[in-house]
């Protein structure tokens, strides 16, 4: 049972807009207690929720051009509306929602591309339900609930980065998140530079199982090492990690080196040292490519070209195996950089 503060119900209709996120650095560390550094993107999902007199959910998405009626009792059926239905099922199970609701979604976050449309949708629905209901919880709790919903109702074994990023992120700042303590710090994004997010055109889906395999490999590494947090392992444990059978040794190396890169990236951002920040992004991509093996050969080529055309750093971003890449580009070359990238890869979309 979820414990919440009680408040007066005041309204019957509410609108919530929540942006997507891009991860600047810190990939696959958020389920191992490591550090991450996401930032909001300029795209968002808007959820309108009205309470109705019935017992059902009427869910409309303009993105999918479809309306779906569902009972509040949840069963996952692989339809896009699972994500909305799961929120209301979670709330009903915890005694925080009863009756019916009309829910309508509008979004310009491309779904399934690593920009966390799922977390934005879940957090927006939970915030809307908080407006309309008798519970009052913090945005951090909303993020934790969204993760529980994604893990337990939707069967996606994601960490906590996405939900915290979209619930607590602020425009103009990156969110430095310690996923072990859930401490957050807003770190201003570098002046005079664009955090350019491009969709590679390669579709990915977390539920294809490859993400879950990486999680399982990390669990195996942790067990073999007797180390609950591979991001924070000391030198002696790291020596033992490198001696483990492949690929677990490389998975563990990514965990520790990626965590350290996030800490250095935060220092670089605070110091306005964009060259170091860019270099760390490059190193992160190499680690994802060679050690964690979550990139894609076509995307590797795009990242390489992004640098050749003047980005200070570039890396795949998100769960992996396709989706988006993020590049740090000086504003004064940005239009030319964008043109060159589009000429080389007509299939990419600038987010
Ligand atoms: P992402 O990387 O965008 O988070 P996910 O696979 O985790 O990708 O989540 C995508 C899912 O979120 C979709 O399959 C759908 O169920 C839901 N979703 C995202 N955007 C919308 C939308 N505009 N309308 C309805 N459902 C959406
Ligand atoms: Mg998602």
**Distance in Å, CA 61 to ligand 1 centroid:** 11
Handedness of CA 34, 22, 281, 305 (dihedral sign): positive
Check whether 205 has a pLDDT greater than 60.
no
> What is the pLDDT confidence band of residue 210, given thresholds at 50, 70 and 90?
confident
> What is the pLDDT confidence band of residue 12, given thresholds at 50, 70 and 90?
confident
For 30-80, the pLDDT digits (tens) are 999 999 999 999 999 999 999 998 999 999 999 999 999 999 889 999 999
Tell me what the pLDDT averaged over the chain comes to.
94
Query: Fold for domain 13-188?
Result: Ribosomal Protein S5; domain 2 (3.30.230)
Helix axes 161-168, 139-148, angle to 10 degrees: 150
Check whether 209 has a pLDDT greater than 90.
no
Question: How does DSSP classify residue 148?
Answer: H
Atom of ligand 1 nearest to the CA of 319: 2
Check whether 206 has a pLDDT greater than 80.
no
C-alpha–C-alpha distance, residues 211 and 216, integer Å: 9
**Distance in Å, CA 232 to ligand 1 centroid:** 32
For 240-269, the pLDDT digits (tens) are 999 999 999 999 999 999 999 999 999 999
30 catalytic per annotation = no
> What is the pLDDT confidence band of residue 203, given thresholds at 50, 70 and 90?
confident
pLDDT score of 113: 85
pLDDT score of 8: 52
For residues 258 and 284, the answer to whether their CB atoms sit within 8 Å is yes
> Which residue owns the Cα nearest ligand 1 atom 8?
112
For residues 262 and 26, the answer to whether their CB atoms sit within 8 Å is yes
Residue in 162, 267, 282, 291 annotated catalytic: 162
For residues 104 and 67, the answer to whether their CB atoms sit within 8 Å is no
pLDDT score of 112: 84
Cis ω on the peptide bond leading into residue 247 (within 30° of 0)? yes
**Distance in Å, CA 205 to ligand 1 centroid:** 10
Check whether 208 has a pLDDT greater than 80.
no
Check whether 2 has a pLDDT greater than 70.
no
C-alpha–C-alpha distance, residues 261 and 22, integer Å: 17
Check whether 168 has a pLDDT greater than 70.
yes
Q: Give the β-pairing of 13-25 and 66-71.
A: unpaired
For residues 57 and 20, the answer to whether their CB atoms sit within 8 Å is no
> What is the pLDDT confidence band of residue 337, given thresholds at 50, 70 and 90?
very high
pLDDT score of 9: 52
- Token pair in block for residue 199: 């969709």
**Residue 149, exposed/middle/buried by CB under 10 A (0-12, 13-18, 19+)?**
buried
C-alpha–C-alpha distance, residues 129 and 97, integer Å: 8
Query: Which of 215, 286, 297, 208 shows the shortest CA–CA distance to 251?
Result: 215
DSSP string, 238-253: HHHHHTSPTTHHHHHH
Atom of ligand 1 nearest to the CA of 158: 7
Question: Where do the DSSP E strands lie in 119-229?
Answer: 135-136, 173-178, 184-188, 193-199
Q: What is the average pLDDT across 177-202?
A: 97
Domain boundaries, the chain: 13-188
H-helix or E-strand spanning residue 53 = none
Question: How does DSSP classify residue 151?
Answer: I
The CB density around residue 191, as the number of other CB atoms within 10 Å, is 8
For 266-312, the pLDDT digits (tens) are 999 999 999 999 999 999 999 999 999 999 999 999 999 999 999 99
Check whether 207 has a pLDDT greater than 90.
no
Which residues form the pocket of ligand 1, taking CB atoms under 6 Å from any ligand atom?
Answer: 45, 61, 63-64, 80, 82-83, 105, 107, 111-118, 121, 205-206
Query: Tokens 């800490």 sit at which residue?
Result: 263
For 110-147, the pLDDT digits (tens) are 998 889 999 999 999 999 999 998 789 999 999 999 99
pLDDT score of 312: 98
């Amino acid at each position: 049972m979820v414990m919440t503060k009680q408040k007066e119900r005041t309204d019957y209709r509410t609108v919530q807009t929540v942006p997507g996120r891009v991860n600047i650095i810190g990939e696959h560390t958020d389920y191992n207690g490591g550090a991450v550094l996401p930032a909001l993107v300029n795209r968002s999902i808007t959820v309108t929720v009205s309470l109705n007199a019935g017992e059902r959910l009427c869910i409309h998405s303009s993105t999918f051009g479809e309306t779906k009626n569902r009972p509040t009792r949840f069963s996952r059926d692989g339809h896009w509306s699972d994500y909305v239905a799961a929120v209301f099922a979670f709330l009903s199970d915890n005694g925080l929602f009863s009756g019916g609701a009309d829910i309508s979604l509008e979004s310009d976050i491309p779904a399934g591309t690593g920009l966390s449309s799922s977390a934005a949708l879940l957090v927006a629905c939970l915030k809307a339900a908080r407006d309309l209901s008798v519970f009052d919880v913090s945005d951090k709790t909303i993020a934790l609930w969204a993760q529980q919903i994604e893990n337990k109702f939707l069967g996606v074994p994601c960490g906590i980065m996405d939900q915290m990023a979209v619930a607590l992120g602020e425009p103009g700042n990156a969110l430095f998140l310690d996923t072990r303590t859930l401490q957050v710090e807003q770190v201003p994004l570098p002046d005079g530079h664009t955090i350019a997010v491009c969709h590679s055109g390669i579709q990915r889906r977390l539920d294809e199982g490859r993400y879950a395999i990486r999680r399982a490999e990390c669990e195996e590494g942790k067990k073999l090492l007797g180390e609950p947090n591979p991001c924070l392992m000391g030198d002696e444990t790291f020596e033992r990690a490198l001696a483990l059978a492949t690929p677990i040794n490389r998975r563990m190396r990514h965990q520790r080196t990626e965590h350290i890169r996030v800490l250095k990236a935060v220092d670089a951002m605070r110091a306005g040292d964009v060259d170091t920040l860019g270099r760390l992004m490059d190193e992160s991509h190499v680690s994802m490519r060679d050690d964690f093996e979550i990139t894609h050969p076509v995307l590797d080529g795009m990242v390489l070209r992004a640098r050749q055309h003047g980005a200070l750093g570039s890396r795949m971003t998100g769960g992996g195996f396709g989706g988006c890449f993020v590049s740090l580009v000086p504003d004064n070359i940005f239009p030319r950089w964008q043109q060159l990238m589009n000429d080389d890869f007509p299939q990419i979309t600038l987010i």
